[in-house]
Structure 1
């Protein structure tokens, strides 16, 4: 398990326990929190001093339909087409030749292998997951947090007042 000191992201994003954050505003939807931070940014506030924290998290999985081996093969073929296109372009860059032939062969091989792997992957589940779905994380509410040393500035900018002058050691 990675400790915060060993995590490279910890140099960019300080641990909440290491920085004194205060709640600027709690909102019901992420879009509202995003709009508030955007308003702070537009007002010249140093938004790197803010966080959006979702509370009451839950996982929601929306079932989108039945999954069959044929559908899995079709989805695999579509993914394989993209891979084939990438390989075809790479071949065209490294070994110029008959453009259409190279592209058609790469797309064909990509689609066939994608379909095979899609069908095999679905068959390997042996009917334990015969549906497709989209999974998202949702929060009951979102808190816009600001470092305590900047909370008054943020509140003024959020209320539409101009960015106050402040001596900060950034």
Structure 2
């Protein structure tokens, strides 16, 4: 009996559960863009790209600081977030109300209530941090290098094609 999660039941599709990659390395690149360019080249050369996998190696989490947090920025963000949620709730209330036509009452009540609670929750959250994280940031998962793997049956041809690609000048 086979499992519904096994790759044998889904030919040509990636496995449903996390599994280590298989195949032989046919190229290694410093950026994802270069690895993607290599696979694009293989596709143009009629290589069976369904046998290819791009693997990020030496993963690192990069957090780039985008700005300083201030009370004004925190409260404005909280108010905007609360306004969206309140507007959504107000529109839902109007959909299920018994009044005819457009009823602005529930929308306005939802909007004002959302802004109020957004301000309160943002202020409480920022105030309780007591200056421990006074900045905004964006996180990104980045690899130190990107290996292109291929199934053994096509690996030699893949290496030969990528060697031809490496001899070409890189586009700017």
TMscore range, shorter length: 0.5 to 0.7
Instruction: Compute the TM-score of the two structures, normalised by the length of structure 2.
Output: 0.66
RMSD of the TM alignment (CA)? 3.5
Match of 1:115 among 115, 119, 128: 119
| Residue 131 of structure 1: aligned partner | 135
| Residue 83 of structure 1: aligned partner | 85
User: 3-state SS of the aligned residue for 1:56?
Assistant: strand
Give 5+ residue unaligned stretches, structure 2: 7-13, 166-172
User: 3-state SS of the aligned residue for 1:62?
Assistant: strand
Give 5+ residue unaligned stretches, structure 1: 161-170
CA contact (8 A) 1:73 1:115 kept: yes
Indicate whether 1:106 and 2:101 are aligned. no
Count matched residues: 153
* Bigger Cα displacement from structure 2, 75-84 vs 149-158: 149-158
Match of 1:145 among 127, 145, 149: 149
Alignment of 1:61-72 (within 5 A): 61-72=63-74
Instruction: Compute the TM-score of the two structures, normalised by the length of structure 1.
Output: 0.67
Alpha-carbon distance, 1:74 to partner: 1.4
Structure with bigger gyration radius: 2
Alpha-carbon distance, 1:154 to partner: 5.6
Structure 1 residues 106 and 51: CA distance shift in structure 2, 3 A: farther
